Structure 1
Amino acid sequence: MFVPPPIPKSTNRGAPKNWQMSSPTGTGDGATVPDGGTIVYDLADQCTSDDLEEGALYHATVNGTVEYGVFVDLSDAVSGLVHDSNLLGQYDVGDDLIVELGEIRPDGDLSFEEVRVADYEEQRVVHGDATTVADLGDATGNTVVIEGQVVQIKQTGGPTIFQVRDETGIVPCAAFEEAGVRAHPDIEIDDIVRVSGRAEERDDGLQVEAESLTVLDGEEAADIESDLEAALAEAAEPADVEPLVEWPAFEKLWDDLRDVATELRKTVLSGRPIRMRHHADGDGLCASVPLQVALESFIASQYEDASAPQHLLKRLPSKAPYYEMEDVTRDLNFALEDRTRHGQKLPMLLMLDNGSTEEDTPAYRNLRHYDIPVVVVDHHHPDPEAVEPLIEQHVNPYLHDEDYRITTGMLCVELARMIDPDLTEDLRHVPAVAGLSDRSEAEAMRDYIDLAAEKDYDESDLRDIGEALDYATHWLRYNSGEQLITDVLNVDCDDRDRHGEVVDFLAERAERDVEDQLDAAMSHVEHERLDNGAHLYTIDVENHAHRFTYPAPGKTTGEIHDRKVAETGDPVITIGYGPDFAVLRSDGVRLDIPRMVTELTEEVDGGGVSGGGHLVVGSIKFVKGRRESVIDALVEKMAEAEIDEELGSSTALPEEV
């Protein structure tokens, strides 16, 4: 008697039709197979005669009796006769027995004989060709079998969509019940399942129209899960790329970036969405946009659902230089709604050019109530003792005795290349834009500018891109401006001429609006000389600058500061203040703004002081009625600061404070 051997788990991918997936229930006497057990096959309802092998044993149910034997069903589409000469007992309709397939006749009729088996290994046979997600493109129109893990369950107005991940990718499997009714309510996210159905093209992607969907358990599920974990670990490994420029300071952060790249790839593969929050300025955009494009590309390479990048990744600008409670409340609400409406896991929060300070911790503590991991890539002066107990990973040059001159945009361009190295050519100019936008004085800036020149960008072009990003972001406010920003930055842009025209237009508008603002404000700038010799310039930007237009208070203060530095050539501090805020810029004075904020919080009773930023640039908030006390105390501290004329300013100020 011939019994088809089971295909080993390690080689089942791409196996021919009729391979069986096993769930061992025992061993005993009977037909011999390579592992020493007897196999009895249980056909799924959708199985046809194409799924049969002569000589194999099958579970059967009597569906009719005649004088010369009984008719049995092996599935909805498979039935045949057991002649009374081949019966070992008496049976009625509905009785179960085990039969051996004796012959598949030329006319398609099947003949069986009853067998008795004391102990056996039961294997489920599903209809279709065993295949992988990666090979579905060659199987459209055919019935296929996929084994994997459910990573998302979405109820639509029609079918229920189960996103199933195998070792090679993720495919939507549509299971139909009544319109809008949850199919297979017993199946949950992370279950190991076997899907049989027809592979079809749908909406520029592939989909399996599931005819059967079964939860696996026991050793069978454990084997599949083990294979999936090994495949995930391999697929999550970042690309082996070299840094765009040689820079010993940067190399200290390389391993941290690889760890984050691994975590991001693993997050995509496990079906968890990513919610990307970034500072709404030039450096924040140079960090987030390349990473967005890389992650979208990686998602598209892993998911057969063409809409997956749109659903699994959201890029969101943050106006404040920290993670505000308004933002975290909004993010958390959207995440919980998406879990309820779309069956998504709760997201990972990816903080870029933001998120390293004690001010971020209330928002992080709010997320701790839920399964929302936080990853931070930033270059602002951090408070690791405050934030690191609340986050999973933290990349920051200060943690390696470096500083703000390594901008977040520089870090994230390399991070994007680790996720999708094919983007390298599109990103060569971006680190230079990030450095110029954030006024980095790093020794590697010349190398980055030379790298951009290879793409025909001179330094003036790069500065214009930074100004255009700043201008566009101001008017976009809380909107990410997906296509416009990628066009301005020329990342994933299909028209270099359009990019140039858009940048020229926005940069010219930005320059015009800055000139208009300074024409109104410069005559109101007040000056005094501090005890340490530094020039202090102050301006009430609430009353002596245009409001609700470009540039915002932070940018206005920065432009005034730059003019005063150019005029004097001496150490300069500039404060732009409003009713309950102040923005600070410094050149040639060794300030420590985060420390000053901490001291003011304790020293100004009832001041309600908060804020932070880089060491020599930042912003603070305070209670309106204590403005004079807060600013006077701040100026006293600045007057005591050490003069260091080699120390430049670090960055453009945040748009909002």
Structure 2
Amino acid sequence: MGSCIICGASVDGHICESHQEDVVFDFRGDDPHQLVSNRFYRGTVDGYADFGVFVDLAPGVTGLLHRSELDRRLESLPWEPGDTVYVRVKNVRDNGNVDLGWSIRQSDREFRGTLIQEGETSRLPEEEPEPEEKEAEEAEEAEEAEEVEEAEVVEEAEEAEEAEVVEEAEEAEEAEEAEEAEEAEEAETEAIEGERDRIEIGSLEDRTGESVRIEGEIVGVQQTGGPTVFEVRDETGVVDVAAFVEPGVRAYPAVELGDVVRIHGDVERRREEIQIETEALAVLDGEAAETVERRLANALSERARPDEIDALAEDSTVEALSMPLLDAAEAIRRAVFESRPIVVRHPATADGYVAGAAIERATLPLIREEHSKRDAVYHYFTRRPLEGSVYEMDDATNDVTRMLQDRDRHDEKLPLFLLVGTGSTVESADGIGLLDVYDAASVVIDAAVADPETRESVDTLVSPELADVDGTLSTGALVSSLAATVNTEVRSDLTHLPAVSYWEETPDAYVELAQEAGYDAERVTELREAIELEAYYQSYEEKRELITDLLFEDGGDLAAHVSEQFREKLETELSTAQANLKTENVDGTEFAVLDTDAYSHQYDFPPETLLLDSLHRRVRGDRSVTLGIGTDELYVRSTMDLSLREIADAADEIAPQADITTASVRDGKLEFLSGARDAVENAVIAAIADQA
């Protein structure tokens, strides 16, 4: 038994249960399962990723401090690889992954004590031993004095002998250095001339412990607190290559992103991941580099382009769009094989989330196959939902800022931006133009609307509107067939998604697909409503795990629970809205106008777009228009085929002082000056009546 170093209570060790969080532990173990949850530990920053910080708690024991645990933005952290940090262990998973939490205390003095944990036991820090008895100390001093006297007698002889030994050691050291230099020169020569047979990266799993030679392109560089880690890609995959000079010092500083290299090294496992420990690395040029580049390019072209569209159901619209869909699928697959991050932007709606989740479902397995690192699926794929359906300058500025930081800080390639259900109209032109300034590749897919000008702004555009195709596709249905083409192995996971993306008039082919997959009409409705509700909350977050649980791994309980909340909230809002509609008939067109400022919650579910969609479905007739007007925004819903831009232009002529403009064709949204609200309402009604 011992006593608690904080309160003095009797304990089996040095700290009582109630004061576990008042001390910081220095972990000296070698197994993550020896860590104790809710304890604070001293660690060392290993490196950054998009989703958090890796922290070494001991050699071979590393945890992830996820960005959601931080009290500030990830990019604002002052930590560099090798810095000492203080974290809390939240959980150790069965596979050894360690989940870490943020500690507001970031120095020893902010804790009430320090303990060293060795394995599963802990002890106090080492202290200098003290003499047991004063008499022993005096005897020791006398003995030391005698030894000094004897030492003086032999000192001259020892000095002479030491001088001879030093001379011999210097000669041996010079010989050893010469031998090492010769070996290094031979290794570099071997790396350049390629005397060993080349091994494909895709076969390294079976070669642990072997010495190998690989050739490929540098697609990433990360400086850790220890080695420099190069990501190297060949025609079969990507692997980490560690090169060490001394802790925190850049190895091979002349090697840059995009260089073609030949590497000799040993295949090892680090944190259960394949890694090559470098013996020699040489940058290739001339014919040797051209040979590798040609091999990579040929393999990439062969792997990236699918042979044909794998449509989920017979759909004439999908068939008519086969060529642009193949182009989009190739762009996505090529980004994976080039180790280029993919950023998906989609509206925070059920249709948008279904489309984004379909691409995610198809792409993540490809990334796992391509990269040996377990965290690659977070590093190379991100969904960033949008509040609306326009890719605005605010969104583009955020994306460009992040991509430039990743390029400069982590030597990352510029990402492929996949804009789903957004970016297809001129309202997004400024945002897409900013991406284009930096030559960031973009693919736009939208089943609803598109403008011809978009063709010139993006690398690949998929839209029925620009292909002169009449159809009733949702973006979720269109993108689900694209996702099945990107990765045919996940096709069966996607068959229910198109039905989930429709609020009404779901094509029979997609209803049947969902039923065959075990999703009846009630379950599909619950999924749609649950996704729509979760899309609203924390709308800027991708919620990857939650959306996966709902769409792919839920037995029905989660969706049913969330769907019930959706219905309660929407019905309450609809009842209030319907009771306060202002209706009038203008030249045979029925108008229903809702003051959204007065009769809807501005900062709670449902959002105005969903409220007005639902309200319009409830009150519409043959020739009817539902308007929702707020402080400076007006939404239009109609059973007739109206041109929102023509309405905006005509209304602006009627009320020129209001500055009426089209904010989003896809959302049916106009903007105006708040001081002219009454004039705007009258002008829009007059413009619609004239157009109808």
Which TM-score tier does this pair reach, normalised by the shorter chain?
A: 0.7 to 0.9
CA shift for structure 1 position 604? 4.3
Distance 1:382 1:452 in 2: 28
Amino acid at match of 1:459: A
CA shift for structure 1 position 570? 3.2
Decide whether the 8 Å contact of 2:574 with 2:611 is kept in 1: yes
**1:368 paired to 2:368:** no
Partner residue of 2:462?
395
Partner residue of 2:222?
154
CA shift for structure 1 position 253? 0.7
Distance 1:602 1:257 in 2: 41
Instruction: Give the TM-score normalised by the residue count of structure 1.
Output: 0.74
Structure 1 residues 210 and 403: alpha-carbon distance in aligned structure 2, compared to 1, 3 A threshold: farther
CA shift for structure 1 position 606? 4.6
Structure 1 residues 384 and 338: alpha-carbon distance in aligned structure 2, compared to 1, 3 A threshold: same
**1:605 paired to 2:673:** no
Structure 1 residues 72 and 324: alpha-carbon distance in aligned structure 2, compared to 1, 3 A threshold: closer
Partner residue of 1:85?
none
Match of 2:690 among 632, 640, 644: 640
Amino acid at match of 1:524: N
Q: Percent identity?
A: 33
CA shift for structure 1 position 546? 2.4
Structure 1 residues 260 and 599: alpha-carbon distance in aligned structure 2, compared to 1, 3 A threshold: farther
Partner residue of 1:245?
313
**1:414 paired to 2:481:** yes
Match of 1:236 among 304, 321, 329: 304
Partner residue of 2:525?
463
**What RMSD, in angstroms, separates the aligned Cα atoms of the two structures?**
2.6
Count residues in correspondence: 516
Partner residue of 1:626?
676
**1:220 paired to 2:288:** yes
Partner residue of 1:549?
604
Q: Show the 5 A alignment for 1:271-290.
A: 271-290=339-358
Distance 2:388 2:654 in 1: 24
Partner residue of 2:584?
528
CA shift for structure 1 position 630? 2.6
What per-residue deviation string (whole Å, max 9, x for no partner) do you get for residues 485-513 of structure 1? 112222xx3xx42xx11110111101001
Partner residue of 2:54?
none
Distance 2:179 2:481 in 1: 58
SS in 2 for 1:538: strand
Decide whether the 8 Å contact of 2:310 with 2:484 is kept in 1: no
**1:505 paired to 2:557:** no
Match of 1:431 among 498, 511, 527: 498
Decide whether the 8 Å contact of 1:526 with 1:539 is kept in 2: yes
Amino acid at match of 1:502: L
Distance 2:473 2:209 in 1: 52
CA shift for structure 1 position 631? 2.5
Partner residue of 1:593?
644
Amino acid at match of 2:683: A
Distance 1:594 1:459 in 2: 36
SS in 1 for 2:479: helix
Decide whether the 8 Å contact of 1:298 with 1:419 is kept in 2: no
The range that moved more, 218-227 or 364-373, is 364-373
Distance 1:238 1:204 in 2: 32
Q: Show the 5 A alignment for 1:441-452.
A: 441=505, 445-452=507-514
SS in 2 for 1:234: helix
Partner residue of 1:62?
none
Distance 1:482 1:72 in 2: 54
Partner residue of 2:538?
476
Decide whether the 8 Å contact of 1:354 with 1:380 is kept in 2: no
Partner residue of 1:584?
636
Distance 1:247 1:361 in 2: 30
Amino acid at match of 1:621: E
Distance 1:484 1:351 in 2: 22
Distance 1:511 1:122 in 2: 69
Partner residue of 1:38?
none
SS in 2 for 1:423: helix
Distance 1:382 1:189 in 2: 37
Match of 1:340 among 394, 405, 408: 408
Please, which runs of 5 or more residues in structure 2 have no aligned partner? 1-174
CA shift for structure 1 position 280? 1.0
Distance 1:634 1:601 in 2: 9
CA shift for structure 1 position 71? 13
Distance 2:424 2:387 in 1: 15
Amino acid at match of 2:314: E
What per-residue deviation string (whole Å, max 9, x for no partner) do you get for residues 69-117 of structure 1? x9998976869xxxxxxxxxxxxxx9x9xxxxxxxxxxxxxxxxxxxxx
Decide whether the 8 Å contact of 2:310 with 2:485 is kept in 1: no
SS in 2 for 1:276: strand
Distance 1:370 1:602 in 2: 38
Amino acid at match of 2:488: P
Task: Point out which structure has higher relative CO (alpha carbons under 8 A, 6+ apart).
Answer: 1
Partner residue of 1:14?
none
Partner residue of 1:453?
515
Distance 2:529 2:177 in 1: 78
**1:321 paired to 2:321:** no
CA shift for structure 1 position 333? 0.9
Structure 1 residues 598 and 279: alpha-carbon distance in aligned structure 2, compared to 1, 3 A threshold: farther
CA shift for structure 1 position 477? 1.8
Distance 1:238 1:601 in 2: 48
CA shift for structure 1 position 167? 1.5
SS in 1 for 2:627: strand
Match of 1:312 among 367, 377, 380: 380
SS in 2 for 1:382: coil
What per-residue deviation string (whole Å, max 9, x for no partner) do you get for residues 362-398 of structure 1? 112222221212110012321122x222211110010
